[in-house]
Amino acid sequence: MKVMKFGGTSVGSVEGITSIKRIVESAPKPVIVVVSALSGITDQLYNVAAMAAAGDENYLAEYKAMLHRHVDMIPQVIDDTMIQAQTIDTIKELFTDLSNILRGVFLIRDSSPKITNTIVSYGEALSSVILSKALKGAEHADAREFIKTIHQFGKHVVDFDQTNHLIKERFAQLSNVTVCGGFIASETQTNFITNLGRGGSDHTASILAAALGADVLEIWTDVDGFMTADPRIISNTYVIEKLSFSEAMELCNFGAKVIYPPNIFPIFHKKIPVVIKKT
């Protein structure tokens, strides 16, 4: 089996979702698809949380823009009218919950880290539902149920014992295609919603691939791959065909942003290859 991760730009437009459908439908099964929030949505969610906490009523306009962006894309990526209607209902329900939380934040003029984590989790909760309905026969998995974190030295870190155990339990029977949101998690002790930090969807994908002993982890992106330098600055750069984990780490220290090696550390231990692919 393989784990395929698609970032926010891939899932952020109708064309992007159409490409994902083509790629996933032609892949050998079973696959687990890990998806980020629609491009820009995580930033927007952090922003609306801050606006509501500051008592800025304009948070509502931002909220409505996010609602429309998600709902408007559904009829364009889902053909079946029944599934379209069900998906619109599910997405609207999620948005109603989000609006209630934001209203509370606005009224008390405060958003604790716990509440902000809950607010930003909607990005991947929404994108993963839409993609799971857009991919025929796909199942949806909620990462908050099996990616577990503990609070250590002021940040949420993965509780690998619990996480690996829960992943094995959840995926004991693998469907052909399972779609799961990246980034989002929950705390082992309390079940409060947490996350793996910005760009954390690669981490989710890598944790899943390692726990399930995947043959490969594919990171689908909109760049050609690891290059010798930033092509926007240096003209004669080229894609590096193959590199080791430590070489990737070194390039990242010099500014390469394709992947952040600490995020894919779990698969490094298991010697699972990572393939960077362009959507």
Minimum CB distance to ligand ASP, residue 28 (Å): 25
Query: Pattern 71-90, binding to ligand ASP, x per CB under 6 A?
Result: --------------------
Among 12, 123, 261, 266, binds ligand ASP (CB under 6 A): 123
Cα 45 from Cα 123, distance rounded (Å): 8
Among 182, 194, 208, 272, binds ligand ASP (CB under 6 A): 182
Using a 10 angstrom Cβ sphere, with 0-12 exposed, 13-18 middle and 19 or more buried, the burial of residue 148 is: buried
Minimum CB distance to ligand ASP, residue 208 (Å): 14
Among 59, 63, 183, 260, binds ligand ASP (CB under 6 A): 183
**267 and 274 in contact (C-beta within 8 Å)?**
yes
Cα 164 from Cα 262, distance rounded (Å): 18
Cα 162 from Cα 218, distance rounded (Å): 24
Among 24, 37, 52, 185, binds ligand ASP (CB under 6 A): 37
Minimum CB distance to ligand ASP, residue 203 (Å): 8
The yes or no reply on residue 201 touching ligand ASP (CB under 6 A) is yes
The yes or no reply on residue 10 touching ligand ASP (CB under 6 A) is no
> CB neighbours (10 Å) of residue 142?
16
State yes or no: cis peptide before 266, omega within 30 of 0.
no
The yes or no reply on residue 6 touching ligand ASP (CB under 6 A) is no
Minimum CB distance to ligand ASP, residue 65 (Å): 17
Cα 95 from Cα 116, distance rounded (Å): 15
**Using alpha carbons only, how large is the chain's radius of gyration in Å?**
19
Cα 4 from Cα 30, distance rounded (Å): 11
Binding segment for ligand ASP (CB under 6 A), chosen from 35-43, 70-78, 108-116, 271-279, is: 35-43
Binding segment for ligand ASP (CB under 6 A), chosen from 56-64, 98-106, 108-116, 197-205, is: 197-205
Cα 72 from Cα 77, distance rounded (Å): 10
The yes or no reply on residue 278 touching ligand ASP (CB under 6 A) is no
Coil, helix or strand at residue 148? strand
Cα 128 from Cα 181, distance rounded (Å): 5
Nearer to ligand ASP, 8 or 16 (CB): 8
As a residue count, the chain comes to 279
Among 36, 116, 128, 149, binds ligand ASP (CB under 6 A): 36
Minimum CB distance to ligand ASP, residue 30 (Å): 23
Residues that bind ligand ASP (CB under 6 A): 7-8, 36-37, 42, 123, 182-183, 198-201
